[in-house]
Chains A and B, each alone.
Chain A
Amino acid sequence: MRTARALLLSILVATSGCGGQQSALGSQGAPAIHVEHLILGMVAVCAAIWILVMITLGTALLRARPRTARQDDGSEKPLTMAVSAAVAATTLIIAGLTIASFYTTRGIGLADSTALTITVKGQQWWWQVFYADSSTGPGFQTANEIHIPVGRDVRLQLESPDVIHSFWVPSLAGKQDLVPGRSNSLLLRAEKPGVYRGQCAEFCGLQHSHMAIMVIAEAPGAFEGWAATQRLDAVVSADSDTAAGQASFMAKPCAACHTIRGTPAGGTTGPDLTHIGGRRTIAAGLVETTRGSLAAWIADPQTHKPGNNMPMVSLTSTELRNISAYMESLK
């Protein structure tokens, strides 16, 4: 089993990219670690069974046979014994695996009431994230990126206002659907700091493929610092391009769909942009956040993510440059 794990991990490490880890193997959170043990154990047991069956099959087909034309009926007795034993073994193994599965479920447990609670709403095709009021300050809203403190249970409240989505960050926990009309919850926990990528796992329409989420696990102090920044309203820098960008943003249809706290922009159709410049990616994990990628996205969202709900707004090149600068400044 150890070699199986090493083999699987080596495949994984050799191929893992820079966008944050997204794999059920090499897990970094307690729930996913429990499941990974179960996965490796079951794969090992099943592989052994398969090999045994194949050896039996090969022997049955190729063994040397007596020359007599037909067996006498007495020779069926050993076969009956063998088949009965195999069925009994199957039943025992199945029972064992079922019990192992139950214990894994129990080991994962449920988030208790003291856990940090984050509400995640799946939207076509992005993630809306709400942090509730806490002892350290009031709640706030963000999108497509969740920060969590390392070593602490986090309870995700999962809801959907449109179609079914599924929240899945495999390195930290198994998936859980976001079902309209229901509220599901998921225990999330990271043992080590890092960026863990996930993406929607339930087919949800045209851009199901581009609906990623980043979970950033950091030390409790760093997490509180991030949360404090998120609670603040947007600040406009003194830079003239940025100020012009803000004016264009408010004058154009942008503000009808997006909120930027501390400004008149209060639309709720699209993601909250108050601190978009501080997020790692835009458009639900589509590209890294840079001034260039922001400009490319704003100029033509339908080419980059065909079918998404953001329309192409006609802008002059100056307006485009200024709005991109403004977005980038919203750290």
Chain B
Amino acid sequence: MTRDGDEFRDSSMGTAELHRRLAAIWSTPSGLWGALSTVDHKIIGRRYITTAFVFLALGGLLSMLMRLQLAQPEARFIGPDRYNQIFTMHGTNMMFLFAVPVMQAMAIYLVPLMVGTRNIAFPRLNAFSYWMYLAGGLLLWIAFVVDAGPDVGWFAYVPLSGPQYGAGKRADIWAQMITFTEVSALAIAVEIVVTVFKQRAPGMSLDRIPLFVWSMLVTSFLVIMAMPAIMVASTSLILDRLVGTHFFNPAEGGDVLLWQHLFWFFGHPEVYIIFLPAVGMVSAIVATFTRRPVFGYLGMVMALIATGVLAFGLWVHHMFVAGLPRLGESFFTASSMAIAVPAGLQIFCWLATMWAGRPVFKTPFLFVVGFMVIFVIGGLTGVMVASVPFDTQVHDTYFVVAHFHYVLVGGAVFPLLGAIYYWFPKFTGRMMSEVLGRWIFGLIFAGFNLTFFPMHILGLQGMPRRIYTYQPEMPWSGLNLFISFSAVILAAGFLLFFIDAIRSARSGSLASANPWGATTLEWATSSPPPPYNFARPPVVESLEPLSGDLETLPVASGLRVDRRELLTSSVVHASPEAREASPGDSIWPLWAALATTLMLIWSIFSPWAVVWGSVPIAITLIGWFWPKGVPEDEA
């Protein structure tokens, strides 16, 4: 690879000189223009994570409003119209604006570092993705503030969301917000797949990929296969509403259940799109804080893939009471139960790792322990609702509300909070507070269980979901009041978390390159990493490249230093293949996102938007892809 006598290569250069030249070529210029045109995956990743946590806080506020209303029977604090908007917003916001984006955002930041490359694949698409996500989030929340928030549930079942019953533009805003978030999610998925397949550090063969990276790879494939179903669904809904197609209108030959099939064909994999990244985070944290690699690497990878495949065979368990044929339902009971096997395998492998390792009880690890306690309950209630007869009693009740909060908060948010504590030093160069971290874990763990466990009982006692109030003669008042008080504890925990995160980002103690003694590549560079991530691309010789001395980590050389360049490698063995140019900063992704936003929002009101709105998009894309006259890669 190295050509002698080329003065622009890194081979013959001293370290200080190399850093100076790389910084000059990779840095994002300061100022507003630099911020708007940057394509650095770390800046975009941090921006993405921060935005997602803002949406988490907003969604949390909505849930507190709901708990206020439900604390007493027949309360008049919030009327039915506003309440329906609130629970729709809570679900939509948490699923589409928080859970999926935050997991992908963690990958945007971490995957390139963990595979030892300098930037994510398609970095401009990455910038575009963030702007689309932000625009979709703003669309939804501005609509809610002006009392035009969707009120048809996060699942938007027809005909309630259709032209006849969904008045105004509320359901259209929901459907088009879906388009924004799907575009952004698909973009990231493609970037992650290509980054993992083609940009791994030399020597990082398939069996040396960190488990978090594996989980994001599988997740990205799930996104690519699941998201088109919801785009078809939401677009058909808009067409039904805007131009009078009858996809979902039984009176004109359409079908109401078609919506449910399309929605859940996406909606069930969506759960695993949120959960699998969390599995990867748990594996990373467990390995670091038990001081040994995760037990059963091959089994863990196979479990991830098996979960990903099975995730597409479960969607009908959301429709067990819709009146489908018995035989078909039985098949989906079996498949839904079967997914407990790979999930169980992963739990057992972590347990084995903890057994064999030497646990260090730092905050990230506490959140993992909390995850084990809560997620196992959520998994077991998942086995229960997979049974058709069981489900006929608890479907659409508070039992299911309890179940999926155990799965999603226990299974994904706990690992995520642990992951934030774990990777915060890498993101910011500063540590979060260990003392506050313990308090936060305690409050969130206790608050969560006190809030959500009683909901199982409420569901069995006959309390349906999505009701804005209940009558005093129903036996639910006591538990509901208890839940509302418990929710305050949970909220206090999250408030403290936000305070700690903001305080630590400004004035936390400084972090070294590898404060936890971890063994994956993101810890091989400074905290936070320089704009080019690694001065010289690391070479990987084992699953734990940092298990030895950091000074002895082998590196590759031969990359040019007069333009942004990174190494591409082969899919299986990660043998170096070529030097690839990596795109520089550009403002065009922002313009393209604005043009797309204009078209999508306009199309809520007129079908002609699709025609005339595509003109500005075309112009911005031409600007984006204008040929520069330089070769993209050199073998």
Contacts and interface: CB of A to CB of B under 8 A. Distances in A.
B554 to A, nearest CB: 23
Contact of B344 (A8, A87, A166): A87
B396 A166 contact: yes
Interface in A191-208: 197-208
Contact of A11 (B251, B358, B457): B457
Nearest to A79: B352
A53 B165 CA distance: 48
Interface in B351-408: 351-352, 354-356, 358-359, 369, 372-373, 376-377, 380-381, 383-384, 386-397
A87 B306 CA distance: 14
A164 B337 contact: no
Given A61-B369, A79-B356, A206-B80, A53 B376 contact: yes
Contacts of A53: 347, 351, 372, 376
Contact of B464 (A56, A60, A82, A201): A201
A32 B474 contact: no
A203 to B, nearest CB: 4
B508 interface: no
Contacts of A15: 461, 475-476, 478
Contacts of B328: none
Interface in A264-318: 285-286, 306-307
B390 A203 contact: no
A94 B341 contact: yes
B520 interface: no
Contact of B157 (A17, A80, A83, A203): A203
Contacts of B383: 42, 46, 94, 97
Contacts of A181: 250-251, 255-256
A227 interface: no
B94 to A, nearest CB: 17
Contacts of B475: 12, 15-17, 23
B467 A208 contact: yes
Nearest to B474: A17
Interface stretch (A136-144, A169-177, A217-225, A239-247): A169-177
Interface string A65-94: 100001100011001101100110011001
Contact of B460 (A39, A63, A209): A39
A104 interface: yes
Size category, B interface = 35 or more
A18 interface: yes
B345 A87 contact: yes
A242 to B, nearest CB: 29
A38 interface: yes
B396 A175 contact: yes
A23 B345 CA distance: 35
A83 B250 contact: no
B349 interface: yes
B334 A98 contact: yes
A174 B392 contact: yes
Interface string B326-352: 100010011001101100110111011
Contact of A184 (B323, B337, B377, B473): B323
A154 B384 CA distance: 27
Contacts of A212: 471
Contacts of B43: none
Size category, A interface = 35 or more
Contacts of A203: 153, 157, 160, 396, 465-466
Interface in B260-303: 292, 295-296, 299
B315 interface: no
Contact of A76 (B157, B295, B387): B295
A159 to B, nearest CB: 11
B159 interface: yes
A32 B393 contact: yes
A212 B465 CA distance: 14
Contacts of A71: 292, 356
A182 interface: yes
Contact of B348 (A83, A105, A179, A199): A83
A175 B393 contact: yes
Nearest to B354: A60
B469 interface: yes
B322 interface: yes
A163 B249 CA distance: 11
A83 B355 CA distance: 12
A162 interface: yes
A187 to B, nearest CB: 11
Contact of A23 (B356, B391, B460): B460
A63 to B, nearest CB: 7
Given A98-B334, A174-B389, A175-B393, A76 B356 contact: yes
Given A19-B474, A105-B326, A307-B80, A163 B160 contact: yes
B467 to A, nearest CB: 4
A212 B463 CA distance: 12
B84 interface: yes
Contacts of B359: 61
B160 A164 contact: yes
B79 interface: yes
A327 interface: no
Contacts of A82: 348, 352
B485 interface: no
A298 to B, nearest CB: 20
Contacts of A91: 341
B468 interface: yes
Nearest to B87: A203
Contact of B337 (A94, A177, A204): A94
A235 interface: no
Given A15-B478, A19-B471, A201-B396, A101 B389 contact: yes
Contacts of A101: 333, 386-390
Given A19-B474, A87-B344, A177-B323, A42 B389 contact: no
B81 interface: yes
A46 B466 CA distance: 27
A144 to B, nearest CB: 14
Interface string B469-495: 111111110100000000000000000
B257 interface: yes
Nearest to A181: B250
A100 B315 CA distance: 21
Contacts of B478: 15
A91 B321 CA distance: 26
17 contacts: A15-B461, A24-B459, A34-B389, A59-B355, A60-B352, A79-B295, A83-B345, A166-B321, A175-B395, A177-B323, A181-B255, A181-B256, A182-B257, A197-B462, A209-B470, A212-B471, A306-B81
A-B complex: 5 closest residue pairs judged by Cβ atoms: A174-B392, A181-B250, A15-B475, A101-B387, A184-B323
Interface of A: 8, 11-12, 15-19, 22-25, 32, 34-35, 38-39, 42-43, 46, 49-50, 53-54, 56-57, 59-61, 63, 65, 70-71, 75-76, 79-80, 82-83, 86-87, 90-91, 94, 97-98, 100-102, 104-105, 108, 158, 162-164, 166, 168, 170, 173-177, 179-182, 184, 197-210, 212, 285-286, 306-307
Interface of B: 79-81, 84, 153, 157, 159-160, 165, 250-251, 255-257, 292, 295-296, 299, 321-323, 326, 330, 333-334, 337-338, 340-341, 344-345, 347-349, 351-352, 354-356, 358-359, 369, 372-373, 376-377, 380-381, 383-384, 386-397, 457, 459-462, 464-476, 478
Given A22-B474, A42-B390, 7 more contacts: A23-B460, A50-B376, A76-B356, A79-B355, A87-B348, A175-B393, A202-B157
